[in-house]
Structure 1
Amino acid sequence: MTSDLPDYYFRVRENGAFVFRIDTTSRDRRIEMEQIAIVNMRNGEIRPHGDRRLSPEDLERIRAWMEERADLLARREVDDILRTVDHLNLTAQWAQSRATDAQIDAVTDALLMAMHDLRSVLVRKKADRLMKAARD
């Protein structure tokens, strides 16, 4: 099993990750995880842990992980929005077929305001794109 382990482990946190170097060469066959850096995805900062100096290989591997992570998060974000579209469709079906008057009253104002806000943003963004395309 230990031979299949990666050289680095990234413990994901809300805004990035803690980066560990994996060592499987200890005499007692234990897996050692040594923290080497902290990554901030928001500002792209890679901060060495403690007094450590990161090697060019460390930095290369961390930057590659950051690119992969950013791509993954972008794909998830789009997927979440597409799930929202599905959820809106399910909500419409629920409202039409199963919801009681009391349930409709409980959700109508919040849904209408959220949908109005979303529609306003989408229409404005689309108009901006169309105007920009017409200028170019």
Structure 2
Amino acid sequence: MPADLPDYYFRTRENGALVFRIDTENRQRRLDMDQIAVVNIRNGEIKPHGDRVLSPEDIEVIEGWITDRRAVLEERDIDDILRAVDHLNLTAGWVQTRATDEQLELVTDALLLAMHDLRTVLVRKKADRLLQGDKG
């Protein structure tokens, strides 16, 4: 089994990860995880843990993880938005066919304000893109 393990493990956090080097080549034949760095995904900062000096291989692996992680998070963002569109459609169907007056009283103002806010931002961003297209 030790041969199947990666050399590095990334414990993901809200804004990045703790990076561990995996060691299976020790006298006790046990799995050791040695923290080597902390990564901030937002700004790409890599901080060595303690007094550790990261090797070029460490940095290369961590930078590759940052690139891959950013791609995963971007895909998730788009998927979340597309799910929101689905939920809006389901909500419209619920309002039209099943919602009671009491239920509508509970959700109408919040939904209208959120949709108005979203529409305002979308229209402004669309106008900005159209204006930039005219200048380009």
Q: TM-score, normalised by structure 1?
A: 0.98
AA aligned to 2:116 is H
Question: Does 2:20 match 1:20?
Answer: yes
Q: Which residue of 2 aligns with 1:88?
A: 88
Q: How many residues align?
A: 136
Question: How far does the alpha carbon of each residue in 1:10-68 deviate from its partner, in whole angstroms, 9 at most, with x for none?
Answer: 00001100000001112232111000000011221100000000000000000000000
Question: Does 2:81 match 1:59?
Answer: no
AA aligned to 2:134 is A
Q: Which runs of 5+ in 2 are unaligned?
A: none
Q: Which runs of 5+ in 1 are unaligned?
A: none
Residues 118-129 of structure 1 aligned to structure 2 (within 5 Å): 118-129=118-129
- What percent of counterpart residues are identical? 68
AA aligned to 1:133 is G
Q: What is the alpha-carbon distance in structure 1 between the residues aligned to residue 124 and residue 48 of structure 2?
A: 43
CA RMSD of aligned residues (A): 0.7
**Runs ≥4 residues deviating over 3 A:** none
Question: Does 2:125 match 1:132?
Answer: no
